Amino acid sequence: MAEFSKSAVNKETGIRHFFAAAGYSWGGFQRLLQESAFRQELLFAGVALILLIVVGATIGEIVIAMVLFLAVFAVEAMNTAVEEVIDRISPEISNVGKHAKDLGSFAVLCMLVASGIYVLYVIGSHLLFR
């Protein structure tokens, strides 16, 4: 009988797993900070939240905006991951790689548009209808 080989990666369990996962997340955040698109999205979120507070948005409206911004950041992280993997496995220009990158970019655009529409709606409703 053949023995199964052990994984090269030592998986942590319990509380060590929690701290390891937090460290990986922090590393991902630091990597995203190197992306100008992510820094612009952070600025957009900050300005939008300030505007929502200034116009008197409710806590619920602000929470929804924050959830949308977190979704933007998550999609941006996935888009960056796709771009890095494509660049690593296929450094030459290919249609498949281009399509994968374009689809990731479109996903980010969709989330930005959704967030922008929501923020404009809330700001408009507080300025025009109250």
Q: For the chain, how long is the longest CA-to-CA vector? A: 76
Spell out the residues 6+ positions from residue 90 whose beta carbon is closer than 8 angstroms to its own. Answer: 96, 97
pLDDT of the residue at 19: 87
Q: Is 69 exposed, middle or buried (0-12, 13-18, 19+ CB in 10 A)?
A: buried
| Both structure tokens of 33 | 């900070």
pLDDT of the residue at 57: 97
pLDDT of the residue at 13: 80
Do the Cβ atoms of 32 and 77 come closer than 8 Å?
yes
Whether 83 sits among the annotated catalytic residues: the reply is no
Per residue of the chain (130 residues), what is the pLDDT tens digit?
Answer: 555 666 666 777 888 888 888 898 999 999 999 999 999 999 999 999 999 999 999 999 999 999 999 999 999 999 999 999 999 888 788 888 999 999 999 999 999 999 999 999 999 999 998 7
Q: What is the full DSSP assignment across 25-48?
A: HHHHHHHHTT-HHHHHHHHHHHHH
Residue (of 127, 121, 1, 128) closest to 61 by Cα position: 121
| From 12, 41, 61, 76, the catalytic residue | 76
pTM for this predicted structure: 0.84
